[in-house]
Amino acid sequence: MRHIVFQGRKYKRVVMNISGDAPFHEILKQVNGLAIPESPHDDEHTRYAILELINNSLRAHREKDVHEKIRTELKVENEVLNIRIIDQGGGFDMSDLPYDIGEAIGEIDTNSNSFQLYREENQYKKFGMGLIVAKRLFPIFEISFYDENDETIPYTPGKVVGTQINMGIRWNNA
């Protein structure tokens, strides 16, 4: 029976509601308390991908002065590890990224001129790597945006309340 270990205890589902005001060392402590025994990936890689996406959400919340919690949920079901991160940071225009997130992961060149320009334009505060790291690690990977009624909508400035990222991986013998 597959499970998640959080703070030394076994669970089928773990939910972390992270305050945008939380000190980073507290968030790191929570994320470092996660382990997925028998996972196809090293736990360190999984934690890093989750932390990168939480950091993106934290930045969006802080930039927009949002004080709602960022929800991170991990669930094991039917031999699949599902991870969902939901924020209320207003979403983002995926065309502003230095790559097409829909592109095959092997086709994205992180050393390209567009990446360098993206980093320079953002004063090296954004590197464009969080989504790539997660997509590289998790074959199940979806980004969606939602409105004030929790309905999924295309990215539309002023109408998008937040972002939801769903990631997952199936155990090999499933």
pLDDT at 174: 45
Domain-by-domain residue ranges, the chain?
Answer: 4-170
pLDDT at 113: 83
Whether 41 shows a pLDDT value over 50: the answer reads yes
| Tokens representing residue 83 in the block | 């991870």
Whether 128 shows a pLDDT value over 90: the answer reads no
Give the residue, 119 or 96, on which the prediction is more confident. Answer: 96
Predicted TM-score (pTM) of this structure: 0.89
Does 3.30.565.10 match the CATH number of domain 4-170? yes
pLDDT at 111: 77
What is the C-alpha to C-alpha distance for residues 45 and 68, in angstroms, rounded to an integer? Answer: 27
pLDDT at 150: 95
What is the C-alpha to C-alpha distance for residues 100 and 81, in angstroms, rounded to an integer? Answer: 25
Q: Name the H helices within the chain.
A: 24-32, 43-63, 113-121, 130-137
| 127: confidence class by pLDDT, cuts 50, 70, 90 | low
Give me the chain's average pLDDT, please: 90
User: Nearest to residue 130, comparing CAs of 90, 99, 160?
Assistant: 99
Give the residue, 3 or 41, on which the prediction is more confident. Answer: 3
